[in-house]
Amino acid sequence: MHHPALVAVESRVNPAECKSMAEVRQGVDALDRALVALLAERQRYMDAAARIKPDRDAVHDDARIEDVVAKVLASAEQQHLSPLIAEPVWRLLIDRCIAYEFSVYDRTRS
């Protein structure tokens, strides 16, 4: 079963078969919509983490950050995604998710 965010992506033209910028843009737009849906789901996991973690000090975990980045880089290599894209994108994503989780933690504990 496919993730709902990926269903629209499957109908796009394969990048190697694009013959126009319109096809390229349609593919990128479909991927962007899927990425937004996946990031929204990831955010819901941050909501769960904020609810589950026993104290505010548990929100930022350097070891977990490095573990996530290492896993992403391994996956990126398998998928032929440049580490020059993957690492900074995920480090920023993690940073913003931690900030979001802090805000949820503080809002739900006050």
Q: Residues annotated in the binding site, as ranges? A: 25, 42, 53, 101
- Which value, in Å, is the radius of gyration of the alpha carbons in the chain? 17
Side-chain half-sphere exposure of 61, counting CA atoms within 13 A = 13
Alpha helices in 1-110 (DSSP H): 4-10, 21-52, 62-79, 83-109
Give the largest Cα separation in the chain, rounded.
55
* Annotated binding-site positions for substrate: 25, 42, 53, 101
* One-letter identity of residue 69: V
Q: Is the dihedral of CA 65, 92, 41, 71 positive or negative?
A: negative
